[in-house]
Structure 1
């Protein structure tokens, strides 16, 4: 299991500006977010070298959450070269997340 890197406004461009990236917008007080984290950490190995997995705490990085119109958590935004191309809202099974991500490869 690989621990996902947490990003904020300061390192967003550097970390998420190139390639295919999944950003998990979460909150520490969110139960479904806490259940989703190990799922994402588990499946990211299946996409090693193809999709970068990152996290962003909406309470710590409000402007980043606002930039991507995050209204509830968890919200996963798929970016291609920094541009949003897909979004998943709420807890999802590993199979559903993998299937959704496969469509972008």
Structure 2
């Protein structure tokens, strides 16, 4: 799982295939609660989709471009286009179902 702090790197990471993006910030308590869940999902879904963490403060341009207003926000992208969004802290079960519902096998 890659931590992104640059808008150009963000664009590069979402340009092909499926990518789950965790928009977060260092100062965000709920984001810290979600982080280990996202890390576990990265292991569970390894090889099926790319998972990246994007610092919303460092990548404010990308955050604004995709309408992220609250963090943590999880977005699934396919070939650079957003296909699904979930805001807030979720369990691994909920996150896994969110991923399964929005990517093709």
Bin the TM-score by the shorter chain: over 0.9
Matched, 1:18 2:16: yes
> SS of 1:18's equivalent?
coil
Any idea what the Cα deviations from partners look like across 1:58-97, whole Å, max 9, x if unmatched? 1111101001100000001100001000001000011000
Alignment of 1:22-101 (within 5 A): 22-101=20-99
> 2:41 & 2:59 partners in 1: Cα distance?
25
TM-score, normalization: structure 1?
Answer: 0.92
Corresponding residue pairs, total: 102
Aligned-residue CA RMSD (Å): 0.9
5+ unaligned residues in a row in structure 2: which ranges?
none
TM-score, normalization: structure 2?
Answer: 0.92
> 1:96 & 1:76 partners in 2: Cα distance?
12
5+ unaligned residues in a row in structure 1: which ranges?
none
> SS of 2:86's equivalent?
strand
- Cα contact 2:25–2:56 (8 A) shared by 1: yes
> SS of 2:8's equivalent?
coil
